[in-house]
Amino acid sequence: MAVSLNHTIVPATDHRAAARFFATVMGLEELPPAGADGHFAPVRVNERLTLDFMTVPAAEGHHLAFDVDPDTFDAILARIRAAGIPYGSSPRDRTNGRIDHPLCPRGLFFADDSGNLYEVMSPA
């Protein structure tokens, strides 16, 4: 069996709000609460991977990067713009409103209220 990532924990100040934000922006499915007492708010990323958001007392933001096809990138960018979410082309300037990513033809960074930094990259 090949190695594959099944899930990872994403720290949040409010796990349900963070999961909803991420799922909405990315166009993904937010799953029912999981774990003892529903302490995980999972989001299905693909057939094998979930991001399991979990409330922690002092959330330290993580960096999560995603490769997407051009149509998915366009849809994500449209949702970000419609929601007025700041985004940018660099982790150092995530509010410049640009998508000229340094490592791919189009890419952007945006953050959630817990300080998690999301990177979305497209080959075209």
Query: Tens of pLDDT along 55-95?
Result: 999 999 999 999 999 999 999 999 999 999 999 999 999 99
pTM: 0.95
Note whether residue 2 is domain-resident.
no
Residues of the domain holding 25: 7-122
Which CATH number belongs to the domain containing residue 32 in this structure?
Answer: 3.10.180.10
Residue 1 banded pLDDT, cuts 50, 70, 90: confident
pLDDT (tens digit per residue) in 5-44: 999 999 999 999 999 999 999 999 999 999 989 999 999 9
Residue 1 lies in a domain: no
| Residue 26 falls inside a structural domain | yes
Residue 53 lies in a domain: yes
112: left (phi > 0), else alpha (psi -120 to 50), else beta?
A: beta
Give the count of domains, the chain. 1
* Chain segment 114-123, per-residue pLDDT in tens: 999 999 999 9
